[in-house]
Amino acid sequence: MNTPLWVWIATIGVTCTFLLVDVLWIVKRPHVPSMAECARYLAFFVSAAILFGIGIGVLAGWNFGAEFFAGWLTEYSLSIDNLFVFIIIMAKFGVPEKYQQAALMVGIIIALILRAIFIAVGAALINQFAWVFYIFGAFLIYTAVKLAKEGLDEDEDDEFKENAFLTWVTKRFPATTSWHAGTKLFTHENGKRVITPMLIVILALGSTDLMFALDSIPAIYGLTREPFIVLTANIFALMGLRQLYFLIGGLLKRLVYLSLGLSVLLAFIGVKLIFHALHENTLPFLNGGEPIHAVPEIPTWLSLIAIVLILGVTTIASLMKTSRDKREQVGS
């Protein structure tokens, strides 16, 4: 897929424009969005992603179009898992509802910047070292096992635990716990310049998403090797995340099998990556450094079908489970 420079520039320019307008509008008018507002924005971003994928299919070939849809669905499903943590962070720091949009928006911008860096590093590694697919695949399988254990652990602690970076920030810089400064990042208290809870929340969201990017970027490189598709799939997945946070906050609690579903998804992509690595094998201690073609390659169309089935079964099974539990509680 030969992506012209002007397409890269236009894509980044349009994305930055959307983000800038969004940030200015939210900061100037902090409010709790209505369900209708969230639904309109979410429908817009989902429709835009679908049209974009169709455009790639028409202009560059349907194999690339399928790669975009597979990558977008995977990134979106992993982003939904992020929302669980975002809800916990908001509750932990007691973010007033009218300021949550601003915190989410800036957190998403940080996430996009961090993921862009990860995408560039990943592309460079893949182009230079074919064996990196073994590492990506093994890491995804490890993550899948970890997610599965969390999904099966009913006593899992939902408390948010500050990471090392956040602990360092709160210890190093004087901070206020009051939200009187609103969406400002710094304020003055007792004659001293201090950081606000908004800044701490933004750093918590951004640094937490950095950990999620360690899973999502290798996962999408297991579905496509085109950096442009990787970037745009991440952009569309994250752009609608803020509206999704407010729209399905209650529904998230009903997706009881989400961790298990995502673990199956990541394991599938991890196996796909290792199979691909074997096809491009250059490691001297494996088959004398020659490719191993006896291992099957998983085509993009099959990956897309598998992703849709895994996410569909996960959602239906989760809703059936929560509905059955609710009926049993009513009956008892």
**What is the percent of the chain where pLDDT is above 70?**
93
pLDDT tens digits along 255-300 = 778 888 888 988 988 898 888 888 888 888 887 888 888 888 888 8
254: DSSP letter: T
| Per-residue confidence (pLDDT) for residue 321, from 0 to 100 | 86
Cα–Cα distance measured from residue 185 to residue 198, given in angstroms and rounded to the nearest whole number: 6
pLDDT tens digits along 16-65 = 888 888 777 776 777 777 778 888 888 898 999 999 999 999 999 999 99
| Per-residue confidence (pLDDT) for residue 207, from 0 to 100 | 76
| Per-residue confidence (pLDDT) for residue 97, from 0 to 100 | 80
Residue 249 reports pLDDT greater than 80: no
| Per-residue confidence (pLDDT) for residue 309, from 0 to 100 | 93
Round the average pLDDT of the chain to a whole number and report it.
82
- Confidence band of 161 (pLDDT split at 50, 70, 90): low
Contacts of 285 (CB under 8 A, 6+ apart): none
| Per-residue confidence (pLDDT) for residue 214, from 0 to 100 | 73
Of 143, 131, 144, which is closest to residue 282 (Cα–Cα)?
131
- Lowest-confidence range among 43-47, 167-171, 208-212, 321-325? 208-212
pLDDT tens digits along 115-153 = 888 888 888 888 777 788 888 888 889 888 888 887 676
DSSP per-residue letters across 142-197:
HHHHHHHHHHH-TT--------HHHHHHHHHS-B----TTTT-SEEEETTEEEE-H
In sequence order, what E strands does 121-269 have? 186-189, 192-195
Q: How wide is the angle at C-alpha 234 spanned by C-alphas 229 and 238, nearest 5°?
A: 150
Residue in the block written with tokens 């990196």: 132
| Per-residue confidence (pLDDT) for residue 68, from 0 to 100 | 94
| Per-residue confidence (pLDDT) for residue 16, from 0 to 100 | 86
Tokens of 10: 């236009």
